[in-house]
Structure 1
Amino acid sequence: MDTLSLRARKKLRTRQALVDTALRRFAEHGFDATTLDDLCDEVEVSKRTFFRYFTSKEDAALAPTHDLWAAFLAELHTREAVDGATVLEMLRDTLLAALAAMPADGWTERVAQSRRLAAVTPSMNAHGLQFCDRTTRAVITVLRERFGYPEHDLRVRLVVDMALAAYHCALDEWVFRPGPASRDELAACLHEAFAALPGSVTLQGPGH
């Protein structure tokens, strides 16, 4: 058991070193100018090892976001429904629980740096959109399996889309505001974005 535990810790350290190196080098030298060889040489791993953890440079750079949503889906599978709570509230609370479960050793800085890079790197942005689509479908599947919603119930897709929109709005508000970004501030931005959703649906145009 100790051997497996040591192996798992070593794998986690290697994965984290690849993420940290990727984010730093992309910020310093540019995403396109940084090769996979550059990353592997600095971390002292082979390309074969790199591909055990990630499918591409984009995948490595977006790992902090991927980790958050992996925790979200794991939590969603087991989270107890609260009487009287809406699905949107459950998705919000599940996301906040996933946020609280993220590692304390630098995850906040990594996800902020990753988002800043994605904003100026088209291939990262495209990868992020594909990931968002996969996540949307995964969340919808969990909700239907757990709560028996019909396959063609549009409300399920819409509520998941709204939750993801609130997340993206909160993340950008948090990342691009002046000053250092803390986990508590991200949680506050998430609360604010989710609270604004009902009013955004009934928002009227000029003259009303």
Structure 2
Amino acid sequence: MIKLENVVLASPDQMKFIIEGMRNPMNSWDNSDSSCGKATRETNIQWSDDYFIGTNDANLMQRLSNACTDHRKFMRMMPVYVRITAPLYWWKEFDTYKVGTVANSCSTMHKIAEKEFTLDDFSTEHLASQTRQVLEITIDDLNDSRSIYLKTKNKGDWWQMIQLLPSSYNQTRNVMMNYEVLANIYKSRKDHKLDEWREFCRWIESLPYSELVTGGME
């Protein structure tokens, strides 16, 4: 299970700044045709409700994106913020992407005893009925340890929860990435065996001008 919500992208002012920087190497600022307010051509790409990427800028962005990472530095300046809820086994793989990402997570260490554990706290969509029963027993054990810890505040009782917690436990993080990071993720993970990665890549495809990431406009 993975949930992606509260997506925040570059503002019109940020996009204007990014495109200006993209054109710095060739001093080609006069060729920029992106606009705020309304599209100047039907072929312009809508970035947000009030910002449109012009044909000239879009073509240059795509050519640079198709070239190589050295030429598409502007993509590192295109931020993407998103709130992700996913199981710990997925976060373990996501943490491979350390460069260009920042995350604030809900703390398992500090808040593990905050609420009673329920089956909804875990990703269980592929569990067989017998295996689900094992998880339910584990959840009961976690709640027993939680009850004891809340009474004793003993670190040894706290450890019972920390080390018993399954990797299917869902954690929420607010994450900042950029289009270059997304391009690396998409290339490596779009056909991954984990459902969460394939769904994440489908989410990437839904972003404005995702062709920069997926290479869909070569």
TM-score between the two structures when normalised by the length of structure 1: 0.19
Q: Compare the two structures and name the one with the higher helix fraction.
A: 1
Flag the structure with larger Rg.
2
TM-score between the two structures when normalised by the length of structure 2: 0.19
Q: Of the two structures, which has the highest relative contact order with CA contacts closer than 8 Å and spacing of 6 or more?
A: 2
